Structure 1
Amino acid sequence: MMSDENAAPDENPEVENPAEPEIDPVEALRAENAELKDRVLRTIAEMENLRKRTERDVNDTRSYAISGFARDMLSATDALSRALVMLPAEARENGDATTKSLIEGIELAEREMQRLLAKHGVTPIEAEGQKFDPHKHQAMFEVPDPSKPEGTVVQVVQAGFAIGDRVLRPAMVGVAKGGPSHAPVDEAVDKSA
């Protein structure tokens, strides 16, 4: 006979293990339903965010895809403008028919290029008389002018252009120096640093 010490533990299937409480199937399904609902709502939110981000990227691409081309076209437009500036006034007034036609053709080409650039969202940056903005203007020199507030653009050497809210080319400008400051007294910047 076997002793009681060596006997296998009683494996009576009718006795429940007290460490594992019985799970209510309805509560388990409710918990799973809540988890799935949460996952679906999160997925919908992620998809909506992705849709908005994609829409914004597509709009940016439409708006700014021609930036490189527009920048190159600005160089050609500048060349036409310089050609017109270099023509003497007497050539415009007293020139023969061929010279006048040439001048009119250059003016027409420049206006058409400006119109096409504007049609595609390329706009000039306002500079003259504006407060200097390093994001839109490139200072080429300072002009001593006590009659103008310090930091005011007083001369535009080359026009700047933007496409949408992005700068294609900053305006090259001369900035006033020596006049009253733009900033109010309480917002004055310490320039001694």
Structure 2
Amino acid sequence: MSDTNNTPADPKLETNGQPAANDAAAAAAPEAGGEDRVAKLEAEVASLKDQLLRAMAETENTRRRAQRDREDASKFAVSSFAKDLVGVADNLRRALEAVPPEGREKDEMLKSLAVGVEATERQLLGAFERAAIKKVDPTGEPFDPNFHQVMFEIENTGKPAGTVVQVLQPGYTIHGRLLREAMVGVAKAPADGGAAQHIDTTA
């Protein structure tokens, strides 16, 4: 005859149900840990995305700087050569101005020479225009130390002090950047200092 009193007790049915509660807590723990892991992964993804966007922006900025550098190199690579050529343009103009109008009428050879020099000057100025080289003739404009060099001041011009009243040598720019400054004479301030301003001729 079997003794039913010797049957071992089910540990899950212990007093107050504590083992069952422990099992429930253990089952919930992985779920809580999973939420933390998801949050951590999302934070890592956001950080990597931010780093990627920053890297892409820096790459684009670098590309743009490189492109500007290439464009500047292309535009201004001939600056030194162009600066020499503007001296040639000066000499061609001086040669033409040295020929008096009556000399052309009386001397066919002199006339032919002048016509040839004029054609050469036009061709050179056309090349300047294609290379974005422009002459700066600031007559009547206020003195600008960025583009002009004052050689002397002239009194009693009737112009405001600092106005360019004479151009000894025109200036030139290439793509808007100074190639050669213009050498100028400017109006001098009145002796009484009325509306005068000092012009820094060393600029």
- Name the amino acid aligned to 1:142: E
* Aligned position for 1:55: 67
Q: Which residue of 1 aligns with 2:137?
A: 126
Kept in 2, the 8 Å contact 1:146–1:178? The answer is no
1:141 and 1:116 map into 2 onto residues whose CA distance is 33
Instruction: Please tell me the residue identity of whatever aligns with 2:122.
Output: R
**What is the CA-CA distance between 1:133 and the residue it aligns to?**
0.3
> Cα 1:43–1:67, aligned 2, differ >3 Å: closer, same or farther?
same
Within 2, Cα distance between the matches of 1:112 and 1:65? Answer: 21
Deviations 1:139-184 (A, max 9, x none): 01100025100000000000000012211000100000135648xx
Matches of 1:34 and 1:126, distance apart in 2: 60
SS of residue matched to 1:130? coil
Query: Contact 1:151–1:176 at 8 Å: present in 2 too?
Result: yes
Segments of 5+ residues of structure 1 without an aligned counterpart are 1-21, 183-187
Q: Report % sequence identity.
A: 44
Q: Tell me the alpha carbon deviations over residues 19-53 of structure 1, each in whole angstroms, 9 at most, x when there is no partner.
A: xxx79321221121111101100011101111221
Equivalent-residue separation in structure 1 for 2:150 and 2:79 (angstroms): 23
Q: What does residue 89 of structure 2 align with?
A: 77
* Matched AA of 2:156: D
**CA distance, structure 2, for counterparts of residue 53 and residue 123 of structure 1:** 27
Tell me how far 1:92 sits from its aligned partner. Answer: 1.3
| TM-score for both structures, normalised by structure 1 | 0.77
Q: 1:106 aligns with which of 101, 117, 123?
A: 117
- SS state of the match for residue 51, structure 1? helix
Q: CA deviation at 1:62?
A: 2.1
| SS of structure 1 residue aligned to 2:112 | helix
Correspondence list, 1:102-181, <5 A:
102-179=113-190, 181=195
1:113 and 1:67 map into 2 onto residues whose CA distance is 15
Query: Distance between the aligned counterparts of 2:123 and 2:195, measured in 1?
Result: 40
Q: How many residues align?
A: 163
Which structure carries more helix by proportion? 2
Structure 2: tracts of 5 or more residues without a match: 1-32
Q: 1:84 to 1:54 in 2, by over 3 A?
A: same
Partner of 2:51: 39
State the structure with more CA Rg. Answer: 2
Tell me the C-alpha RMSD between the 2 structures. 2.1
- C-alpha contact 1:67 1:163 (8 A) present in aligned 2: yes
Q: Distance in 2 between matches of 1:132 and 1:171?
A: 10
Distance 1:153 1:117 in 2: 25
